[in-house]
Amino acid sequence: MEIAVDSKVVSQQKMSLGQFNDWWKQATGDILRNGKFLYMVIVDDMEFYADYESYIVQHFDKIHKVNLITKGELESAEETIAEICNYNLKLLQSCSLVSSGFYGEPDTDHWNLFSKFIEGVQWLSQSILFVETILEKHNHSLTNAQSMKPVIQMMQEKIAMLDEAVTTSDYTLMGDIVQYEFTELFQQIDQLFREEG
């Protein structure tokens, strides 16, 4: 089996699954220690961004080549900023639709839409924290990590408000929070990343 990191061959020997697992742990640890992330794994010309480990285990005897593709922390942060900008705009545009179902008795379709909205908010929150952590670590001039802290705090407050409204089944309040509070939040996030980018 040929094993490469960033297309540079590091091994061309036959390995057992156990040996490969030992190599994998060492290689991924080295990647992290060098300030990089495992971005993608190419297994015999198939690209995997997730679930690559289970695929490798299930098909180990038939695999000819594994290539680990890495990205630096700053490059990952910059790409995440672009994703945040795009995703934040989609969330902002969805606020009216998501909130409208709460000004009445929400049905199953609306609860599904609301669930997707919450998943999006969670992704956005985690992504902003990721960017803040990386850019603060590197004292990167692209951003002032301090400017992200109020937005992160505001996001946590809005999520807590929404969680309380969900707990009490106050549908009108849920609609208001999504329509007004989250709209304001997403507008501030848009402004922050337009200024920083």
- How many residues are listed for the chain in this entry? 197
Residues above pLDDT 70, as percent of the chain: 95
Do the beta carbons of residue 192 and residue 148 sit within 8 Å? yes
Q: Where are the beta strands (DSSP E) in 50-97?
A: 65-72
Closest CA to 2 of 38, 51, 55, 42: 42
29-38 contacts: CB < 8 A, separation 24 or more?
31/5, 31/68, 31/70, 35/72, 35/73, 36/70, 36/71, 36/72, 36/73, 37/70, 37/71, 37/72, 37/73, 37/76, 38/68, 38/69, 38/70
Instruction: Assign 141 a pLDDT band (cuts: 50, 70, 90).
Output: low
Express each pLDDT in 3-34 by its tens digit.
999 999 998 888 999 999 999 999 999 998 99
H/E run at residue 18: helix 17-33
Do the beta carbons of residue 15 and residue 1 sit within 8 Å? yes
Q: Average pLDDT, whole number, for the chain?
A: 91
Measure the CA–CA gap between 83 and 79, rounded to whole angstroms: 6
Proportion of the chain in helix, strand, coil states, percent, rounded to 5: 70, 15, 20
pLDDT at residue 146, as a whole number: 63
DSSP 108-144: HHHHHHHHHHHHHHHHHHHHHHHHHHHHHHTT-TT--
Measure the CA–CA gap between 152 and 143, rounded to whole angstroms: 14
Instruction: Assign 139 a pLDDT band (cuts: 50, 70, 90).
Output: confident
Cut 0.95: pTM above it: no
Instruction: Assign 35 a pLDDT band (cuts: 50, 70, 90).
Output: confident
Do the beta carbons of residue 190 and residue 85 sit within 8 Å? yes
pLDDT at residue 64, as a whole number: 95
Does residue 56 have a pLDDT over 60? yes
Express each pLDDT in 83-108 by its tens digit.
999 999 999 999 999 999 999 889 99
Express each pLDDT in 177-191 by its tens digit.
999 999 999 999 998
pLDDT at residue 149, as a whole number: 82
Angstrom distances, CA of residue 118 to CA of 7, 21, 41: 38, 36, 29
Instruction: Assign 110 a pLDDT band (cuts: 50, 70, 90).
Output: very high
Instruction: Assign 162 a pLDDT band (cuts: 50, 70, 90).
Output: very high
Mean pLDDT of 142-158: 79
